[in-house]
Structure 1
Amino acid sequence: MASNTNPVFQTAKYPPSIDLPAPYPPNTTFPLQFSPVSASASLSAKLAGIRQLSLNGEIRRLLDTHGAIYFSNLCLASAEEFSQFTHAFGFVPHEDIGNPVRRTILANNVATANEGPNTRPVYPHNEFGLSPHYPAYVFFYCASAPETGGETPINNSIVLYKRLKDEFPEFIDEIEKKGIKYQLTYPNTSRTQTESPGNSVLQAYGQHVHDSDDAETTRAKIEREIRRLPTATWEWVDQSPTNALGDLRTWQVLPAVRPHTRTGQPAFFNNAVSRFLSAVDAGTLDPPHLTKEGRYRPPAFYGDGGLVPRKYFDAAVRIVQETRVLVKWRMGDVVLLDNHAVQHGREPWTGERRLLASLWDDVK
């Protein structure tokens, strides 16, 4: 175990954890827990311990084996200390391109996890699973713990793939051949809008746009950013005298199954279940996929545009619920997820709760 080679951190059993089923070996704990050997360890000592574990390959070995690591009793006191902690791993910072979720930057490579209301869950997904540009690792940090609820559900994408292939091989055959198609709409609202948990077109793609740019120049700059995602197509909609730029609608057709980049294990890596459950909530699962307000909110489709039979997504939701872990938060703690192998979400909560996120890529 890592505690034998690192004087700062030791491994322990995380109470909510489970043992992963096949294709993982027996007694594979998910997630694994790390905690400082000494409760009085300084921040600098903790950072040095993480650097050692990362440099000698232990962190990646443990992520390959377990998929997630919960760091308890860290006592990180701020977004700045969380930023220092994540930088100690030596990963490469991830750059968001076209993020549909609004986040507020709080420190270097640290932002709020999600600005959605506490009454709404976030459904299981791989981070940026609806994009060809996604992070390898996701850190979450508890800046303030909720009174009740607020857990982060995590489930293993490799286990989900195997279970679905065993039960519905025809579904896996279809999505491996066709992929999954996603549609997103970015409204042309303020660059600083905070009314919606989703991003506006300027927040998602307008990093090079100036306030003095006219609509044609703005559109060209935004389209230049979209082209950085080679699988994206788009159109401008709802243009009017009061909305010269228009709202942006994008599509991505992407693999729904992707091999883990280090282990080669196939994973159900996508945002299809999340999009399905969101459409169920909105009452837009069936054509024409319109909300009561007339907004188009479709689920994810097969890559050829065909509707995925509901029974497959219902089965995926059941398997997720059977195999997930609810990460219960304490202030100052961190969870590190291997995004290739783990999906995550969010449960509703009461009281003050603040979760911060940091996204990283593999060392180049």
Structure 2
Amino acid sequence: MKTPFTDADAEILETNGSRLVRVRPRQGSDHRAWFTANAEALRSAMYEHAAVMVKDSGLVQQAELAEIAEEIGGRTLDYNERSTPRSRVTGKVYTSTEYPADQSIPQHNESAYSENWPHNLFFFCALAARSGGETPVADSAAVLGKLPADLVRRFEEKGVLYTRTYRTGMGLSWQEGFQSDDKGYVESYCADHDIQTDWDGDVLRTRQRREAVLVHPVTGQKVWFNQAHLFHVNALPEAVREGLLEICGEDGLPRNAYYGDGTRITADEIDTVLGVYDETVLAETWGTGDLLMIDNILTSHGRRPFTGDRKVLVAMTQREVA
């Protein structure tokens, strides 16, 4: 590609409708000065191509990740209203989802179930796995275009209803999910963010309706943006699903997803969504020191299984919206 970047070489990787710009700063560049000089070009590349990977970024100190993320993407966010386990490393830098190495994490737009989802994600590979462990991306507009029109219409009209049951020992507790042990705070947070609550002793059930399709506020692109396929009970392995249903019942599942009017999303519909994601993904091999930047609306991300040790950190940012 004709590179818009200073002191770097760049190329576009493209497959199945998804794109990623691979950028290599030239040897000898001061990495902090390079990111400052190229901040606008990196932002523009995310809008145009959704994902950018800077190879051999020069980052070493974990705190630098948040500083560079803020310079390019806006204010960094805390990881609140959690759906997966994650540890704070420093400030507003976190480990990526802590999940068994032999399992995949499906494609998803970060925190699409929340009103407070991040606009951009910055993943830093502090240690690449011996094999595997890629963070695949999938273009959200391409996914929307490949889905059956009647399915998109139903989701667009009804939205998605996310249901969760927080209990100790099965998924995240409400204390972990909301990062507080104060029920009053949780009630106030949920009221402010249009989340219905129902307490049964120390067990909390929540319901929240969110959109399934969005229009990007900067590019104007219409995209598939939800986590219905990730929350839905049929996304679980059959044995796990049957065990949870027997123990908890459908109303007590750690999480599930319905159409926004409460009607069921069928297993076939979930399989269709998962199949389109599989058709659309693009994955670049991680190297220690690489930095992957994505627009969270324009592209989803996941994680492939891996062997050996792997350490990927994340900072999440939100732009100022006029």
- TM-score w.r.t. the length of structure 1 is 0.80
- TM-score w.r.t. the length of structure 2 is 0.89
Conservation of the 8 A alpha-carbon contact between 1:33 and 1:69: yes
Choose between structure 1 and 2 for higher RCO, CA contacts under 8 A separated by at least 6 residues. 2
| One-letter amino acid matched to 1:51 | T
The question of 1:281 aligning with 2:237 is answered yes
C-alpha RMSD of matched pairs (Å) = 2.5
Q: How does 1:24-63 map to 2 (within 5 A)?
A: 30-38=19-27, 40-42=28-30, 46-54=31-39, 57-63=40-46
Distance apart, 1:363 and its partner CA: 3.2
Percent identity (aligned)? 24
Deviations 1:300-355 (A, max 9, x none): 21111111133322222222111101232111111001001111111121110111
Conservation of the 8 A alpha-carbon contact between 2:126 and 2:289: yes
Conservation of the 8 A alpha-carbon contact between 1:68 and 1:335: yes
Q: Secondary structure at the match of 2:153?
A: helix
Distance apart, 1:272 and its partner CA: 1.3
Counterparts of 2:304 and 2:277 in 1: how far apart (Å)? 14
Distance apart, 1:285 and its partner CA: 6.6
Task: Please point out which of 259, 264, 278 is paired with 2:220.
Answer: 264
Task: Please point out which of 86, 111, 125 is paired with 2:108.
Answer: 125
Q: Which runs of 4+ in 1 moved over 6 A?
A: none
Q: How does 1:43-122 map to 2 (within 5 A)?
A: 46-54=31-39, 57-89=40-72, 91-122=74-105
Corresponding residue number in structure 2 for 1:235: 198
Q: Secondary structure at the match of 1:123?
A: strand
Counterparts of 2:105 and 2:164 in 1: how far apart (Å)? 17
Greater Cα shift, 254-263 or 113-122: 113-122
Greater Cα shift, 350-359 or 82-91: 82-91
The question of 1:177 aligning with 2:150 is answered no
Task: Please point out which of 221, 224, 227 is paired with 2:185.
Answer: 221
Distance apart, 1:226 and its partner CA: 1.8
Distance 1:3 1:266, change over 3 A: closer
Counterparts of 1:329 and 1:200 in 2: how far apart (Å)? 33
Counterparts of 2:26 and 2:114 in 1: how far apart (Å)? 39
Counterparts of 2:90 and 2:271 in 1: how far apart (Å)? 39
Q: Secondary structure at the match of 1:317?
A: helix
Instruction: Give the unaligned 5+ runs of structure 1.
Output: 22-28, 190-195, 210-217, 240-245
Q: Secondary structure at the match of 2:10?
A: strand
Greater Cα shift, 342-351 or 98-107: 98-107
Greater Cα shift, 305-314 or 168-177: 305-314
Rg (Cα) greater in structure: 1
The question of 1:202 aligning with 2:165 is answered no
Corresponding residue number in structure 2 for 1:306: 263
Distance apart, 1:256 and its partner CA: 0.4
Counterparts of 1:222 and 1:320 in 2: how far apart (Å)? 34
| One-letter amino acid matched to 2:281 | R
Distance 1:116 1:19, change over 3 A: closer
Distance 1:140 1:47, change over 3 A: same
Distance apart, 1:52 and its partner CA: 2.8
Task: Please point out which of 304, 319, 322 is paired with 1:362.
Answer: 319
Counterparts of 1:47 and 1:90 in 2: how far apart (Å)? 15
Conservation of the 8 A alpha-carbon contact between 1:178 and 1:304: yes
Q: How does 1:239-254 map to 2 (within 5 A)?
A: 239=201, 246-254=202-210
Counterparts of 1:50 and 1:312 in 2: how far apart (Å)? 42
Instruction: Give the unaligned 5+ runs of structure 2.
Output: none
Conservation of the 8 A alpha-carbon contact between 1:126 and 1:339: yes
Task: Please point out which of 304, 308, 311 is paired with 1:347.
Answer: 304
| One-letter amino acid matched to 1:354 | K
Q: How many corresponding residue pairs?
A: 318
Q: Secondary structure at the match of 1:152?
A: coil
Distance 1:291 1:81, change over 3 A: same
Corresponding residue number in structure 1 for 2:143: 160
| One-letter amino acid matched to 2:37 | Q
Q: Secondary structure at the match of 1:89?
A: helix
